[in-house]
Structure 1
Amino acid sequence: MERRVLGRTGRLVSVVGLGTWQLGADWGDVEEGDARAVLDASAEAGVTFFDTADVYGDGRSEQIIGSYLADNPGHGITVATKMGRRDAQDPDNFTLAKFREWTDRSRANLRTERLDLVQLHCPPTAVYSRDEVYDALDTLVADGAVASYGVSVETVDEALTAIARPGVASVQIILNAFRLKPLDEVLPAASAAGVGIIARVPLASGLLSGKYTRDTTFADDDHRTYNRDGSAFDVGETFAGVDFETGVEAAHQFSDLVRDTVAQDLTPAQAAIAWIWQQPGVTTVIPGARNVEQARSNAVAGSAEVLGPLFASGIREIYDEHIRAAVHDRW
């Protein structure tokens, strides 16, 4: 699998990483043994970047990763976690004292003295512009609690604000065939500044696998059921903010596009992942996986041949016809 340097962290990571929200909560139940099997299959397939957060399963995702890595010394895996959603989303809560509290908890969960990368977890927009926030993050680095810091954002404007800060190593943002806006300004700005881009929600919560129909249902504790209206968190995190029925129709067209224009034997999900990491400026893509088969299938996309301009133009056509009006100006 191809590897790239993750921005100002200086770390070499696989172009396909692993998002571990699924292993903590909000995607239905995943047993710990199954979660560890996903981590193991990903590592065996060449994945060297795990992304987690302190709120995934109230720390369960971090704990499972910490246990797995402790049992596999010399693993060479970079772990990125996130902080900031354990308290009320008030900009005044983003202080050095809170940062120390949150990172101390993550260090214990991950069984490490120093976190590889800690990201602000989609905080209120005002946080990205506060000098004291970055001063506090710089202090964490100076203290040795974290090696590098970055941000996870909801909007293009938040990303551009963070990229302008000299200490920000990486920006995590939703980027997929149904969320193209970051291609216009964020990726070029990140490349120019030497900031890494971590692309999340690459399959639009599974839509781009092409396996869903209008009748597909999800468990009650799955965010694809309870957050369709954005009542739990930003609706852009669920199906990339696309109405489910619209997304299903667009996803079927995407599957047809893969079949008609991709010479390799790739599934729609693999093609969706490969297309993202092949965009200039993207460092790594973090699809999730609930089982070993999904983990191995996702990793295959990290060695896919370059997808051609016909595929890219087809994505644009689908986006413009079905998606743009609903999402482009919102995020």
Structure 2
Amino acid sequence: MNYRKLGKTNFEVSEIALGTWQVGGKWGSPFNDKTADELLNTAIDKGINFIDTADVYENGLSETAVGRVVRSRSERIYVATKCGRHINPHVNEGYQPQVLQKYIEDSLKRLKLDTIDLIQLHCPPTEVFYRPEIFELFDKLKKEGKIQNLGVSVEKVEEGLKAIEFPNVTTVQIIFNLFRQRPSELFFKEAKKKNVGIIARVPLASGLLTGKFSEKSIFDSKDHRFFNREGAAFDKGETFSGINYELGLIAVNKLKELFPEVLNLAPLALQWILSFNEVSCIIPGASTESHVLSNLSTLDLPLLTPEKIAAMNEVYEHYIKKEVHHLW
């Protein structure tokens, strides 16, 4: 495993980490504690030391599983969780310091940890990033020992740029992958100036970049890849990076032509992200141990050549950029 510094936290984190949106069950299927424990332990066994979760993942069951496994291990595992998405309706006015503090205290109870290494605002409405009193809350919680660091998860580059104006923001979690390249322009440069860690989320475009889907693929009705393609439940950009599914398949087929001998594109897509030194870590999700091992196989590959990277970028330029680049 390779490790990189996570911005101002000074944590040395595994460059391939673990996102737990679907830990313990695929999207749309029931949560399974045994599967969750096996998956999390496998990740730690392989050198992963940064685990990202959220209070809304499986309505707290993901946090509970993460806390249970982390407490059972002797290694130093950094736990990041998120708060705010329980607010309903999810609007600016719902974000109040006392509301967020209650969510954080509830997360601590589920995790059964003394402190949270990294608490992140969970994709709040854009207006929240213009309210200093929200960010001041986390200085208070840090003094109380409930948290160690504050980060944000964002939908838009604009939100990330605004967030890092607050000096207590140590990390930004942002969608970044081969089909979502805009953050690598201005945002990466500004984050680096301020020593803000960058956590790349949705690195495989909801699985699209694995190359395993086709026109015949069927998603469960409770799977966001079925019901949220047009943003019916939350930001459209969370599902297939906001790309029209059929167009995405065309672009993926072009990627397959670049790597005709490769059956699983996921490790190559992750390696493309790691070619950016500004990225602190990637948090691909996993619902099985095999997914964890697939993600980690990235580290065993020869480095992508500049020519291959350029060819991958050309697929984005030709098929994807005009559809999504300006939106997030």
Scaled by the length of structure 2, the TM-score of the pair is 0.95
Cα distance, 1:267 vs. partner?
A: 3.6
2: distance between equivalents of 1:111 and 1:303? Answer: 35
Give the corresponding residue for 1:19.
Answer: 19
Give the corresponding residue for 2:114.
Answer: 113
Cα distance, 1:141 vs. partner?
A: 1.1
Give the corresponding residue for 1:233.
Answer: 234
1: distance between equivalents of 2:263 and 2:13? Answer: 23
**Contact kept? 2:7, 2:171, Cα under 8 Å:** yes
1:130 corresponds to 2:131 = yes
Give the corresponding residue for 1:44.
Answer: 45
Runs of 4+ in 1 over 6 A off after TM superposition: none
Q: Which amino acid aligns with 2:288?
A: N
2: distance between equivalents of 1:140 and 1:266? Answer: 47
* CA RMSD of superposed structures (Å): 1.6
**Contact kept? 1:117, 1:146, Cα under 8 Å:** yes
Cα distance, 1:75 vs. partner?
A: 2.3
Give the secondary-structure state (helix, strand or coil) at the position aligned to 2:251.
helix
Q: Deviations over 1:55-75 (max 9, x none)?
A: 001101101111112222x22
1:172/1:303 CA distance change after superposition, 3 Å: farther
Superposed, which structure 2 residues align to 1:203-242 within 5 Å?
A: 203-242=204-243
1: distance between equivalents of 2:307 and 2:110? Answer: 46
Superposed, which structure 2 residues align to 1:275-294 within 5 Å?
A: 275-294=272-291
1:330/1:6 CA distance change after superposition, 3 Å: same
Q: Which amino acid aligns with 2:276?
A: Q
1: distance between equivalents of 2:301 and 2:195? Answer: 25
Question: Where does structure 1 lack aligned partners over 5 or more consecutive residues?
Answer: none
**Contact kept? 1:67, 1:110, Cα under 8 Å:** yes
Q: Which amino acid aligns with 1:294?
A: H
Give the corresponding residue for 2:4.
Answer: 4
Give the secondary-structure state (helix, strand or coil) at the position aligned to 1:4.
strand
1: distance between equivalents of 2:189 and 2:301? Answer: 23
Cα distance, 1:288 vs. partner?
A: 0.7
1: distance between equivalents of 2:290 and 2:301? Answer: 17
**Contact kept? 1:208, 1:254, Cα under 8 Å:** no
Cα distance, 1:266 vs. partner?
A: 8.6
2: distance between equivalents of 1:303 and 1:195? Answer: 28
Give the corresponding residue for 1:86.
Answer: 86
**Contact kept? 2:24, 2:287, Cα under 8 Å:** no
Question: Where does structure 2 lack aligned partners over 5 or more consecutive residues?
Answer: none
Cα distance, 1:300 vs. partner?
A: 2.2
Give the corresponding residue for 1:200.
Answer: 201
2: distance between equivalents of 1:267 and 1:214? Answer: 17
1: distance between equivalents of 2:263 and 2:136? Answer: 45
Cα distance, 1:24 vs. partner?
A: 6.0
Give the corresponding residue for 2:254.
Answer: 253
Give the corresponding residue for 1:170.
Answer: 171
**Contact kept? 1:24, 1:56, Cα under 8 Å:** no
User: Residue 308 of structure 1: which of 295, 301, 305 is its match?
Assistant: 305
Q: Deviations over 1:178-211 (max 9, x none)?
A: 0000011111111111000000011101111111
2: distance between equivalents of 1:188 and 1:16? Answer: 21
Q: Which amino acid aligns with 1:131?
A: P
**Contact kept? 1:20, 1:50, Cα under 8 Å:** yes
**Contact kept? 1:175, 1:182, Cα under 8 Å:** yes
1: distance between equivalents of 2:248 and 2:111? Answer: 36
2: distance between equivalents of 1:49 and 1:231? Answer: 31
Give the corresponding residue for 1:148.
Answer: 149
